[in-house]
Chain A
Amino acid sequence: AQKVTQAQTEISVVEKEDVTLDCVYETRDTTYYLFWYKQPPSGELVFLIRRNSFDEQNEISGRYSWNFQKSTSSFNFTITASQVVDSAVYFCAFNTNTGNQFYFGTGTSLTVIP
């Protein structure tokens, strides 16, 4: 069965702090894709990153970085020097090479306090 777990329901940090959002997935497929999306209050899903299962290289994009560890089936997301505009719900998602369906985690609501 495919499953994505985001154990952190809500996180609050003070502006400029670093914060890591956890994501753990379950699958028996060897080829799959992992995603992170940001969902602001307006509702739209903002694509942040896609990583395939064969690429375990960590990625950094500005203040965002992702740590993909197949050994622990984790794909964690770190925001460095958080800003108020980072406040949103963040979803980790997964889909397989054979299917098109996205499996979403339950989301982590991040609040950055000024």
Chain B
Amino acid sequence: GAVVSQHPSRVICKSGTSVKIECRSLDFQATTMFWYRQFPKQSLMLMATSNEGSKATYEQGVEKDKFLINHASLTLSTLTVTSAHPEDSSFYICSARDGAYSGNTIYFGEGSWLTVV
């Protein structure tokens, strides 16, 4: 079946630095990808929707200058957490929609644990 891969699965970075998380669709073209954030013992909250070749659409309350999303190709979207702070520590998960299929076939990545120290 279709696979969405995230990298890295775990990352620790120092406060003030930036960190990039990649989301790749391995065997299909993803016209749309989504980024979610999950705090411990909480639900997944949509951060932004990225469409290939255009700017991402951010949900209310999400700082677009802090969470940079780039969807430069049909198989890759990246989330860059800029000037990371400890409160950015969270589980980030992406999902991708198979553009070749008209139904709601959406696949989730394995997620990335970010710890900012």
Contact = CB atoms under 8 A, between A and B. Distances in A.
Chains A and B come from one and the same complex: yes
Interface residues of B, number: 21
Contacts of A102: 34, 36, 44, 46, 95, 106
Interface in B72-117: 91, 93, 95, 97, 104, 106, 108-111, 113
Interface of B: prevailing SS: strand
Nearest to B51: A100
Contacts of A47: 108
Which 4 A/B pairs are nearest by Cβ-Cβ distance? A44-B110, A43-B111, A45-B108, A106-B43
19 contacts: A37-B108, A43-B110, A43-B113, A44-B110, A44-B111, A47-B108, A91-B43, A91-B44, A95-B106, A100-B34, A100-B97, A100-B106, A102-B34, A102-B36, A102-B46, A102-B106, A104-B43, A107-B43, A109-B41
Interface of A: 33, 37, 43-45, 47, 50, 91, 95, 97, 100-102, 104-107, 109
